[in-house]
Amino acid sequence: MAIKPAPVPSLYECSVTAVAKYYNYFKRDLRDLPETILFDVYMNLYNQNKSCILVVEFGDLDVFSKLLKITNSRVMLIKCFQALQCHGTSLAYDLAQSYKIKAFYCQEKYCVSLKDSTIDIGIRLGGFLIDTGWFLESITVLTKCKELCLTLADNLPAWKKILECCHKLLHAETIYSQFDTAILTKKLAEETVQKLKRSGEHLCFAGIYTQFSIHAFYLSNYQLAYEWSAMAVQELSPNSCSRVTVETLSQASKSCVVKREFRLAQALVRLAVYLAGETFGHQHLKYADALRDYGFYLLNSDSMKDSVTVYQKALKLKKAIYGDKNLHVAALKEDLAYALYVHEYSSGRFNTASHHASQAIETFSKLLPEGHLMLASAHRVKALILEEIALDHMSQYMETQSKLLGEAERLHQNALRLCLAAFGEDNVQTAKHYGNLGRLYQSMKKYQEAEQMHLKAIEIKERLLGPDDYEVGLSVGHLASLYNYHMEEYRKAEKLYFRSINISLKLFSETYSGLEYDYRGLVHVYTHLGEMENAHDYKVTIDRWKTLREEHESKERAPLEHHEPSCSLATIQESMMNVERPLLLP
């Protein structure tokens, strides 16, 4: 077989390589080159491992702001920037501080064009720092940018800049758990939206409505998140920005998942994945983001194996761009760890899940201040895994078991403390942590404490989500298990199992995986009550469930084999048309 000769580099490529090779001779004149040429020279330096040169060049805000104008090679710039950050540099911090100084001096001047250009730099830099996972530095930049925006004349161009800045700032503050300042940013954004609407200017508000949805979602206000997402989806059109469209559809899918609108969630996320792949390509970060939200849908719709597959693909894509020292990667490792924990729950093979959870915690601990809320969820996942590993140890390893359970309790308690500090008692996340402690105390044979935790979790969830929500059913099932297997309160357990089963059947179907635990629980209940006919009936029910489950799984296709979306945007918009709308500030 003939070997194809290597492609001959073009004259332009040879020129760029030569300039990069002899950088010291040309560095005084480089910054006067057009942005595209300058970008290519720097990427050539990156490929030659000239990190020291790049740190100096990228650390200059005026130079870096030129590179931010190159949008068609964004992933390459992110990869280069992140590689420099991983080498121990403080580029993100240095650029944020440089922008603070620039914005401060600009704020004292009355030159509108200078303010406009500085605001544009802030919006681009803040957005880039969000994309690279440096949220605190992004908040620094965008906060100063917002302050500068508010010094502009009260007119249409200024409102547009304020809204664009608020869009990014609200996202960074929400993801980074700065909820107090996020509320103020959201209020300013709402006021600005009203001004723009009154101006008569026809604008697409899908992006900012999606940020409102994300903010509500993080606060566990799922109904409001759903309503904002419905509004955002209605704002979309074939001419909408591709990035905004994918983000809007993905967030709307997540909002539908927590509202248990699974068919709509599936249509939304598959369209998002399809559009992300078609528009940005299958190696792009937006595609990885869409896959992450697809994994969330699959995990919550009882397709755990497929969820693991999709999360693994998303993690592989993000690691190739960010490396390991990154908050985006750590968050995905946490997602994958939990998916693996759920998927392998019956097998007891938790090594891989434990590895990813530990790596996520390690990265969060290095990149976040002590006591940051982002650690709470990772601690929760690690604690759940440790509990199951402990239960797999036989009696001869009681010392190891006790140590693992003690570590799990420490992690759960820490997660609860962080959640209480951020959200207070009346929050779904707080309730989840109470429920997790209830399960752990059950494993530790602290049955009274376990009952108190489960009852507390159920009370909060019922009050916030209603009596028939999935989360309520989950906690009810756990309390039933406690009464059944440890406290011999069989009639209480029977009643709770029936309630859990009814919730599962209402939300899912007869093939739902969680039904097996409730059916087996009822067999145990009736066996100990001496009601053998009832016990036999539920053994038959389990056999029937297994048959239905196998048939269901045999019909499923691999999650990424769906090349075409199942619904069009217009069909989805029609489905969401009658969702109640949240009120904007007057």
CA distances from 345 to 6, 295, 393, 450 (A): 51, 18, 15, 21
Neighbours of 72 (CB within 10 A): 8
**Mean pLDDT of all residues in 111-117:** 87
What is the reported pLDDT for 106? 86
| 397 — pLDDT class (breaks 50, 70, 90) | low
Dist CA 117 CA 113 (whole Å): 6
Closest C-alpha to 21, from 58, 56, 57, 50: 50
Closest C-alpha to 428, from 468, 392, 472, 467: 472
Least confident of 41-50, 101-110, 200-209, 314-323: 101-110
Dist CA 113 CA 424 (whole Å): 45
Dist CA 41 CA 67 (whole Å): 11
Dist CA 514 CA 478 (whole Å): 11
DSSP state of 283: T
| 354 — pLDDT class (breaks 50, 70, 90) | very high
Encode pLDDT of 129-174 as tens digits: 999 999 999 999 999 999 999 999 999 999 999 999 999 999 999 9
Specify the 3-state DSSP secondary structure of 191: helix
What is the reported pLDDT for 17? 87
Encode pLDDT of 282-333 as tens digits: 999 999 999 999 999 999 999 999 999 999 999 999 999 999 999 999 999 9
Q: Examine the pLDDT at 416 and tell me if it is beyond 70.
A: yes
Beta carbons within 8 Å of 67's beta carbon, 6+ residues apart:
35, 38, 39, 42, 58, 77
What does pLDDT average to over the chain? 92
Q: Are 382 and 340 in contact (CB under 8 A)?
A: no
Q: Examine the pLDDT at 22 and tell me if it is beyond 90.
A: no
Name which residue leads in pLDDT, 302 or 31.
Answer: 302
**Mean pLDDT of all residues in 380-402:** 82
Q: Examine the pLDDT at 196 and tell me if it is beyond 80.
A: yes
Dist CA 275 CA 27 (whole Å): 41
Retrieve residue 556's tokens: 């499923």
Beta carbons within 8 Å of 350's beta carbon, 6+ residues apart:
340, 341, 344, 385, 388, 389
What is the reported pLDDT for 5? 67
Closest C-alpha to 557, from 305, 345, 315: 305
Q: Examine the pLDDT at 484 and tell me if it is beyond 80.
A: yes
Q: Examine the pLDDT at 395 and tell me if it is beyond 50.
A: no
Q: Tell me, what amino acid is at 430? A: T
Is the CA virtual torsion 234, 235, 240, 243 positive or negative? Answer: negative
Q: Tell me, what amino acid is at 257? A: V
Is the CA virtual torsion 157, 161, 162, 163 positive or negative? Answer: positive
Encode pLDDT of 334-347 as tens digits: 999 999 999 988 78
Q: Could you tell me what percent of the chain has a pLDDT over 70?
A: 96
| 394 — pLDDT class (breaks 50, 70, 90) | low
Specify the 3-state DSSP secondary structure of 63: helix
| 27 — pLDDT class (breaks 50, 70, 90) | confident
Encode pLDDT of 490-512 as tens digits: 999 999 999 999 999 999 989 99
**Mean pLDDT of all residues in 540-551:** 92
What is the reported pLDDT for 516? 94
**Mean pLDDT of all residues in 359-372:** 95
CB burial class (10 A; 0-12, 13-18, 19+) of residue 281? exposed
Closest C-alpha to 515, from 491, 555, 553, 549: 549
Q: Examine the pLDDT at 583 and tell me if it is beyond 80.
A: no
How far apart, in Å, do the first and last CA atoms of the chain sit? 73
